[in-house]
Amino acid sequence: SVRKWDILLPMSTWRSAQSESQQPKIQLRLAGDKRKHYEGRLEVSYNNEWGTICDDDFSIEAANVACKELGFLGAVAWSPSAKFGQGEGRIWLDNVHCTGREKSLAECPSNGFGVSDCRHSEDVGVICNQKRIPGHRFINTMNNNVETLEERVEEIRIRPISSHLKRIPVTEGYVEIKERGKWRQICDEDWTPLNNRVVCGMYGFPGDKNYNNKNYWGFSVNCTGNEAHLSSCRLGKPLEPKRNGTCGRGLPVVVSCVPGRAFQPLVRLRGGSNIGEGRVEVLKNGVWGTVCDDNWNLRAATVVCRELGFGSAKEALTGAKLGQGMGPVHMNEVECSGFEKSLTDCYFNNDALGCSHEEDAAVRCNIPAMGFQKRIRLSGGRNPYEGRVEVLTEKNGSLVWGTVCSENWGIVEAMVVCRQLGLGFASHAFQETWYWAGDASADNVVMSGVRCSGTEMSLPQCLHHGKHISCPKGGGRFAAGVSCSDTAPDLVLNAQLVEQTTYLEDRPMYALQCALEENCLSSTAKKNDHSSYRRLLRFSSQIHNVGQSDFRPKLGYHAWTWHECHRHYHSIEVFTHYDLLSLNGTKVAEGHKASFCLEDTQCDEGIQKRYVCANFGEQGITVGCWDTYRHDIDCQWIDITDIKPGDYIFQVVINPYYDVAESDYTNNVMKCKCRYDGYRIWTYHCHTGELQKKKLY
């Protein structure tokens, strides 16, 4: 008979209102075909087994508890009688009674787990509010797309063959399965190239190649080739070992994988903390846009991962779990076979009507194990997410730990450290670490002159001095340090509003004295008398925080700078750059906007404002909120008095010096084309990010 098999996976972090010994550990998910990400059959995992919930006595209060546990603001409705299809397996809960105040469905009274007289025709479904709980952490180590199957193994690995023992990453070796604590090889009888493709994919490689012991696993394996994990393949026939313990042909399975290159043709990932994860964006008609999560699954996600040079997908994420994009939604209802070369080769619906950026699809890909985490550590911090940076380097033929020089050390370098350690995003970069007592034997500086672009997978990939160490202040208290975070903010400028609000104003110098003091005018303005005029290109800007944590100034309240003329605090000295460029990119006029007031001007529905500037309050931008700088306030302009008529590029850059960590800096730039005839100005084709010139599909 044909059976399926699965890997035992650890349960993720559980919500708990009571002590762990008292409250059952559960995890919820929404399932069913042809549904939105915020609705579906309500399923619960208990004792590592997924099951359903009966609709008897279910209520909107219970639906509210479930939706909030899933990260939504609440429930809109619930559906009886298996509206989203009948589930499989156990019916875990029946006669659930909630008040609506519980933090988990496990707290609600019921018949008890597994006690039910229902059938799957009574499976309950819920429709949640589309809005997410701001800052809700989406932690899921369970594979929702793999069923709980009969034949279970604990782990799968590629054990390198003897000639490749020291090669990293491991691309070639024996495929072994851990069963009952013992590693077993797989007999190559009935093993096909499609099986190789699946194994290579789950270890981070997009392809495989042909490869020119007596302890075997007792089954053959049949893959179709589009699975994301070997555990999704079907078991073949049981294999009868020979008397000497070998399998039929006497050979173990060996795979040889082909590493890929992470290039970005028509598809890219944005907003992820690690290599190989992020919101999926596609290029259409020269404009980057997102993918709606309707029908989004592991097959489509795996096509994306392989297209970008990674392996198969670990997770297909829905509901903008890795942040919301901006601009158009290019693809909807994507359906892939799993063998396409590009996501754009899959069937999809061009009509994204009804899709919003709260439904942006994302992926987490399998990437090769490079061993980067073993060559770096954080030392002396109060928790594993902070500390002095120490790296392992070769010195006089042996490996030693040492520190990194903090000269010019910044948030971009810290981002690479946190990524290398698998700790998410950087929240701060430190140039002094005397308060963290690191390993005294690692005080010596072993790396200096570090300059990163921010995309590197490890610190040694950044520019640095190599063996020629130069660090005037030395290590010790001046060694580089970082603090990391699971989440980060992400600021995006509303390009359409800029395009709609640009205009020219001729303003007298006597009304611009405060702006002159704050360097918001061209240098030639200092020579003008009070009766002269300056020509200002004015516009409004609306800056959204579409990330997963609040945007806060780098400096605390006590370190903000008071400006007497405008009578306000500057929490960041330069928050934005406003520039007018020639068509070849030369700067011909400039302005800047000090963040004298970062606040929540407005927020999405269901999100409360947290930052208000009145009465010298705390400054910041909450997740799901935006800060609006109206066109009629000081410094909200570019001084173009000295500019000749012609065609130009109008550019706005948010957070230009990376003073505050963000999950994605590429969307901090907005560019417009503009034409100035000496009297009027036209602004058009405003885009967030680099303007794309080619029509690629």
Q: Which of 128, 145, 168 is the last residue of a domain?
A: 128
Q: Which two tokens stand for residue 344?
A: 């754009």
pLDDT class for 429, splitting at 50, 70, 90? very high
Has residue 143 been placed in a domain? no
Q: Which two tokens stand for residue 432?
A: 């002094």
What is the pLDDT, as a whole number, of residue 200? 84
Q: Assess whether pLDDT exceeds 90 at residue 645.
A: yes
CATH number of the domain to which 70 belongs: 3.10.250.10
What is the pLDDT, as a whole number, of residue 421? 92
Q: What is the mean pLDDT of residues 360-379?
A: 89
668 and 539 within one domain: yes
Q: What is the mean pLDDT of residues 360-365?
A: 93
Describe the strand order of the beta sheet including 533-538 as a list of residue ranges: 503-508, 533-538, 637-639
Burial 545-569 (b: 16+ CB within 10 A, else e): bbbbbbbbbbeeeeebeeeeebebb
Percent pLDDT > 70 in the chain is 86
Q: What is the mean pLDDT of residues 617-643?
A: 90
476 and 605 within one domain: no
Q: Where are the beta strands (DSSP E) in 319-444?
A: 329-335, 347-349, 362-365, 376-380, 386-395, 398-404, 425-430
Lowest-pLDDT range of 465-474, 515-524, 676-685: 515-524
Q: What's 541-601 look like in SS3?
A: EEEEECCCCCECCCCCHHHCEEECCCCEEECCCCCEEEEEECCCCCEEEEEEECCCCCCCC
231 and 214 within one domain: yes
Q: What is the mean pLDDT of residues 5-32?
A: 54
636 and 495 within one domain: yes
Q: Assess whether pLDDT exceeds 60 at residue 344.
A: yes
Summarised one tens digit per residue, pLDDT across range 134-157 is 666 655 434 433 333 334 445 777
401 and 333 within one domain: no
Q: Assess whether pLDDT exceeds 80 at residue 277.
A: yes
Q: Which of 205, 234, 258 is the last residue of a domain?
A: 258
660 and 546 within one domain: yes
Q: Assess whether pLDDT exceeds 50 at residue 262.
A: no
Q: Are 401 and 475 in contact (CB under 8 A)?
A: no
Comparison of pLDDT for 382 and 230, the residue scoring more: 382
pLDDT class for 218, splitting at 50, 70, 90? low
Q: Assess whether pLDDT exceeds 60 at residue 691.
A: no
Comparison of pLDDT for 9 and 108, the residue scoring more: 108
683 and 547 within one domain: yes
Q: Assess whether pLDDT exceeds 70 at residue 260.
A: no
For 426, residues 6+ apart whose C-beta sits below 8 A from its C-beta are 411, 414, 415, 417, 418, 482, 483, 484, 485, 661
What is the pLDDT, as a whole number, of residue 365? 93
Closest CA to 273 of 442, 454, 435, 117: 454
- Pairing of β 151-153 and β 207-209: unpaired
Mean predicted lDDT score pLDDT of the chain: 82
Q: Assess whether pLDDT exceeds 80 at residue 256.
A: no
670 and 586 within one domain: yes
Has residue 557 been placed in a domain? yes
Q: Which two tokens stand for residue 509?
A: 């110098």
507 and 612 within one domain: yes
Summarised one tens digit per residue, pLDDT across range 156-190 is 777 776 555 556 677 777 788 877 677 887 777 77
Q: What's 490-518 look like in SS3?
A: CEEECHHHHHHHCEEEEEEHHHCHHHHHC
Has residue 642 been placed in a domain? yes
3-state class (DSSP) for residue 404: strand
Q: What is the mean pLDDT of residues 104-112?
A: 91
Has residue 383 been placed in a domain? no
Q: Which of 485, 517, 541 is the last residue of a domain?
A: 485
Q: What is the mean pLDDT of residues 531-552?
A: 91
pLDDT class for 250, splitting at 50, 70, 90? low
Number of domains in the chain: 5
Q: For residue 262, what are the CA distances in angstroms to 174, 310, 455, 577? A: 26, 7, 11, 31
Summarised one tens digit per residue, pLDDT across range 658-674 is 888 898 888 889 999 99
**DSSP β-bridge partners for residue 284:** 287
271 and 236 within one domain: no
CA distance 481 to 388: 4
Has residue 146 been placed in a domain? no
Q: What is the mean pLDDT of residues 608-624?
A: 85
Q: What is the mean pLDDT of residues 386-392?
A: 93
Summarised one tens digit per residue, pLDDT across range 219-246 is 777 888 877 777 777 877 776 655 555 5
Has residue 376 been placed in a domain? no
Please calculate the CA angle 62-64-67 and round it to the nearest 5 degrees: 110
Has residue 1 been placed in a domain? no
Q: Assess whether pLDDT exceeds 50 at residue 194.
A: yes
83 and 62 within one domain: yes
What is the pLDDT, as a whole number, of residue 143? 40
Comparison of pLDDT for 688 and 250, the residue scoring more: 688
Percent pLDDT > 90 in the chain is 35
Comparison of pLDDT for 307 and 155, the residue scoring more: 307
Domain that holds residue 510: 491-688
